[in-house]
Structure formats: C-alpha cells, structure tokens
Amino acid sequence: RKEVEQDPGPFNVPEGATVAFNCTYSNSASQSFFWYRQDCRKEPKLLMSVYSSGNEDGRFTAQLNRASQYISLLIRDSKLSDSATYLCVVKELSNFGNEKLTFGTGTRLTIIP
Amino acid sequence: EAGVAQSPRYKIIEKKQSVAFWCNPISGHATLYWYQQILGQGPKLLIQFQNNGVVDDSQLPKDRFSAERLKGVDSTLKIQPAKLEDSAVYLCASSSARENTEAFFGQGTRLTVV
C-alpha cells in the first residue's frame, strides 16, 4: 500500500460545481496534513493546512478523519482558476525533531467553462 | 521574506554527462529536501537534510546521484552520469521542523537528458 494515495483523476468539472477529493494515508502516527496546489510547470504551493477539527478558507474546506486515515478537500462554486493539480501531503514528526513529508501523486482538476 | 532559490531553471544535457543543481533554502530552515518530479506524477523524495546531516536518502540512486549540504545552508544535488530517465523537474524545498508548518518550494530545475 502506498504511504499516501490519491485518485489521480482527471476530474473535469463544470464551472460553479462542487468537487471533492479524498486522500488516504497509511501511517497512523502522521501528525500534520496539507493540501498543496500545483499549476502546470510551476512548483507546489500550500493551499491549506488540514486541522483535526476541519477548516475552511473561502470556497475551500478541508477535513481530517484520523480513525479512517483520510483527508478531504472540498471546493465549492468552482472557478476556472481552480484548474490545477492538488497534492495531498502528510507530515510525520519524530521524537528527535526530524520530519518526513510524503506527497500523494496528485489529483488533476480541470474546470470547464 | 526571500523564498527558496534554485538554479539553473533549465538544463539540457546528453546522457552520460554530469549535472549539478543548487538550492538556497529559506533562512533559518533546518530541513531541506530534494524531490524529483516526473511529468504527471507527484514529487518523489530523493534526499532530506536536517541541518547538514542526512535524515533520509533511501530513495536516492546512490550509484549516480549525490547531494551535500555544507554548513547546513545551501545544498547541491549532482547526477553523474545522467540517464534518459533522469529527465524530470528537481524541486528543492525547506521547512522548519515544527508541527503544522509547511514546506516551501523553489521553482525547480527542469532537466532534459537527450
């Protein structure tokens, strides 16, 4: 089983629709979770962190389910500019202060006019 | 705040040649990563440094890839000799090793091996 798994898509969604992505992780000791966005030929950039209680940033909502070991990202009222690849990232922090960041393969989203 | 700097942005080399990439992380970030990203895939960790020590290099093809982070700041990644399958974007990222803090990426070096 991969450490971090995502549906690669592609997801082709009409403008204004709601779209949701899930990501599963294998290590129950994982401590921090993030969604990154990567535009074509650009570097990944943080979209939002994912907190245990769930968090919202405008049209974006992230949720964490530790019991089932998955995180989700919901995009409401999708815009053309949301077209990108969304990467799920899981961070583990050891007792020695070392961290390990593991990326999913990314989910490609295209918003259709 | 200055971001992660990488150079060069693009590099084209012939197979069997050598190439080196440079990364300057965000000031004060102890953790530095080198990732390889092949088109259509997520970033794959090659090596991770904590200050100037290697934390994880389990996925680094050590017969041809090497990396160092002298003085715990800048880092270089070298490939010698290059193979066609090394064509990818090489991303450098840095972070502070604290819970809930993210990693910041440089713009990457796009390597084409012909």
Please tell me the predicted confidence (pLDDT) of residue B111: 98
- Lowest mean pLDDT of A33-42, A54-63, B29-38, B92-101, name the range: B92-101
Please tell me the predicted confidence (pLDDT) of residue B103: 92
Asked if the peptide bond before residue A14 counts as cis, ω within 30 degrees of 0, the response is no
Give percent above pLDDT 90 in chain A. Answer: 73
Give percent above pLDDT 70 in chain A. Answer: 96
Which of B37, B95, B100 to probe by mutation at the A interface, max A CB count within 10 Å?
B100
In 3D, which of B15, B114, B8, B10 has the Cα closest to residue B64? Answer: B15
Q: How crowded is residue A8: how many other Cβ atoms within 10 Å of its Cβ?
A: 15
Which one of A41, A42, A87 has the shortest CB-CB distance to B42? Answer: A87
Are the beta carbons of B105 and A43 separated by less than 8 Å? yes
Are the beta carbons of A44 and B91 separated by less than 8 Å? yes
Residue A101 has pLDDT above 90, yes or no: no
In 3D, which of A88, A84, A21 has the Cα closest to residue A50? Answer: A88
Mean pLDDT of chain A: 91
Greatest mean pLDDT among A8-12, A75-79, A89-93, B93-97? A75-79
Q: Which distant-in-sequence residues (6+ apart) come within 8 Å of B113 by Cβ?
A: B12, B13, B14, B15, B82, B83, B84, B85, B86, B87
Q: Which residue has the tokens 């999708």?
A: A78
Are the beta carbons of A103 and B43 separated by less than 8 Å? yes
Please tell me the predicted confidence (pLDDT) of residue A27: 87
Q: State mean pLDDT over A69-73.
A: 95
Please tell me the predicted confidence (pLDDT) of residue B99: 67
